[in-house]
Every structure is written in structure tokens, then in C-alpha cells.
Amino acid sequence: MNNTPKGFKSGFVSIIGRPNVGKSTLLNYVIGQKIAIMSDKPQTTRNKIQGVYTSNESQVVFIDTPGIHKPKHKLGDFMMKVAQNTLREVDLILYVVEAGEAFGPGEEFIIERLKETSTPVFLVINKIDKVQPDDLLGIIETYRTKLDFAEVVPVSALQGSNIPTLMDQIVGHLDEGPQYYPSDQITDHPERFVVAELIREKVLHLTREEIPHSVAVVIDQMKRRDNEMIYIGATVIVERTSQKGIVIGKQGGMLREVGKRARGDIEALLGSKVFLELWVKVQKDWRNKPTHLRDYGFKEDEY
């Protein structure tokens, strides 16, 4: 863009790490709005989520990847390819780890992937509120012996602790560049994608351990009606009939609660009143069927 001010910095930053270390929480805090769903279950994020942070001096485009793990099905294979391909596409990598978790095979697996890239890597130690300050030094030393990190930044993404310092460090490592997105744009995903993710988040939260990550959400219809209310029709996809019963709940109670909670987030996102209608459909073993993966938005050829 020709009107980019002199000295303006910009770049693409990937957020990687094991499942459930707080990558989406970090992204949402930085952007200031929920665009990546959060859950205490692993493998919540399935697609690359681009979040855009813009200030007067810089623009940082964040890519939140699926947690790096050893895949167990075709969906897992897809998620791993997304995560690993991202490392080659960015200017900087944020490797997020959890302060309270001991270094183990999962971290070793990721470190080996990072050794294969020449992209600078920041070690972001998240959830520092869960450990004593004196314990941080030992954690930092453990990781420093494994890889030559460009920076090490301890944070609490949930509380926002040390996030401004992290952003300063990120911008400091970026080169001068253009403003890729308008100042008021926070993601490059279409609204339908974010709406589907917000619904899926509520299913995960409310069903807890009863429904594993065999849930997808498809937006069938999304249109503004004459009364200015937005009508959204969506289908929740599960793999087994028993899961359908759980998602619907007794006399439809669970599905109503999913809709009620999702509607609040969707209205905040769209800035409009929403009429949300939900259905539940069984699609057996969809995570292992490429045709269904494509139908539900997991398009491998895009990566």
C-alpha cells in the first residue's frame, strides 16, 4: 500500500506448540477479540487462523496452527501438515510451551522440527502464573540447551502478563514492510468460518469428555432478513448416533444451550441480532474420509 508510513514494520508470525498450551488464548488476547476458539481439550484448532494486529507503527499477521502431535487419523495428518508447512511461510515463529509442564517427548518432537528451519524462533513460556518465579530460570535453561532461541519471553496469555513486552520483541525482529490488511481487519477468514468455530467451541465446552474431537460445524445458510436480524442455519456433524443424542440432550436442552451461548459471541462478532437454528447430523468416521474432510472445510490443497 502506497500510504504506508516510513519505517512501518510488518510480517507474518506463526504460533506453534503442543496441544493445549494456550496458543489460541495468546492470539485472542493480542488481537483483542475472539477469532480462535479456546478449549481445555487438545486439538481444538484445525485450520490456520490468521489474526491481524495493527498499530500506527506496525502490522503483525499471526497464524495459529493446530497443536503439533503424532497423528492418529487422516484429520490428524492434515493438521500436522498445516502446522509444519507454516514454519516455511513466516518471518518469525513463536514456540509456546506451558510453564508447569515438564520437558518431554512431545517437546523433543517439536524441537527437532524447529531445527530444520532457518526462521528465527521465540520461546514463549505461557501460564507463568502456575509456577513460582524461581522455577522459571530452570525452565528457561532446560529449553536453551535444546535450541538457540532468538528471544525467551515468559507470559500469562490468560491474564495478559508480559504480552506488551512480547509484542515489542516481535515488532523489533520484523523488517520494514507494507500494511497488508486494512487497520480495522482482524482476520482474513470469512465470517462463516468464524461463526462455525464459535458454535463448535460451545459444543466442546458443554459436552466436556462425552464428545471427543469428532465434531465439525457446517454453516448451511447465513443471510440478513428484512428486520435486520441475521438468520444462521448450521449443522453440527458427529461420528456416532450416541454422540448425536448427547449434543441434542434431554428434550433438546443441550442443543438449545449451545445455541444460546454461541449466539452471544456471534452477535458480538457481527454487531447485529442473530437468529440461530441448529441441527445435528451423524456422518460415521468422517475424520478418516477425504471427501468429508473437504466438505467440512479441511482442504489440503490450500496448504
Taking residues 159-188, what's their average pLDDT?
89
pLDDT greater than 70 at residue 288: no
Q: How far apart are CA 106 and CA 124, in angstroms?
A: 16
pLDDT greater than 50 at residue 43: no
- Under DSSP, the state recorded for 284 is T
Report helix angle 191-207 to 253-270, nearest 10.
140
Total residue count of the chain as it appears in this document: 303
64 in a labelled binding site: yes
Query: What's the mean pLDDT when you consider all of the chain?
Result: 81
pLDDT greater than 90 at residue 4: no
127 in a labelled binding site: yes
66 in a labelled binding site: yes
240 in a labelled binding site: no
19 in a labelled binding site: yes
pTM of the model: 0.62
120 in a labelled binding site: no
| Amino acid sitting at position 186 | I
pLDDT greater than 50 at residue 45: no
- Under DSSP, the state recorded for 92 is E
Asked if 298 and 200 touch (Cβ cutoff 8 Å), the reply is no
Q: What is the pLDDT of residues 106-116, one digit of tens each?
A: 899 889 888 88
Q: What is the pLDDT of residues 100-149, one digit of tens each?
A: 888 888 899 889 888 888 889 999 999 999 888 888 999 999 999 999 99
172 in a labelled binding site: no
33 or 60: which leads in pLDDT: 60
pLDDT greater than 60 at residue 39: no
24 in a labelled binding site: yes
pLDDT greater than 80 at residue 283: yes
Asked if 231 and 277 touch (Cβ cutoff 8 Å), the reply is yes
pLDDT band at 267 (very low <50, low <70, confident <90, very high): confident
**Sheet strand arrangement including 58-64:** 49-54, 58-64, 9-16, 92-98, 121-126, 151-154
| Amino acid sitting at position 91 | D
φ, ψ of residue 74 in degrees (nearest 5): -65, -35
129 in a labelled binding site: yes
220 in a labelled binding site: no
CA atoms within 13 A on the CB side of 273: 6
pLDDT band at 66 (very low <50, low <70, confident <90, very high): low
φ, ψ of residue 207 in degrees (nearest 5): -90, -15
28 in a labelled binding site: no
65 in a labelled binding site: yes
Measured CA to CA in angstroms, residue 187 lies from 29, 41, 184, 224 at distances of 14, 24, 10, 21
Mapping DSSP to helix (H, G, I), strand (E, B) and coil, where does residue 75 land?
A: helix
Q: How far apart are CA 128 and CA 208, in angstroms?
A: 25
105 in a labelled binding site: no
Mapping DSSP to helix (H, G, I), strand (E, B) and coil, where does residue 105 land?
A: helix
pLDDT band at 170 (very low <50, low <70, confident <90, very high): very high
- 28-32, 164-168, 253-257 — which is least confidently predicted? 28-32
156 in a labelled binding site: no
Residue 301 has a pLDDT of 43
Measured CA to CA in angstroms, residue 15 lies from 242, 247, 250, 274 at distances of 35, 31, 39, 32
Residue 36 has a pLDDT of 60
128 in a labelled binding site: yes
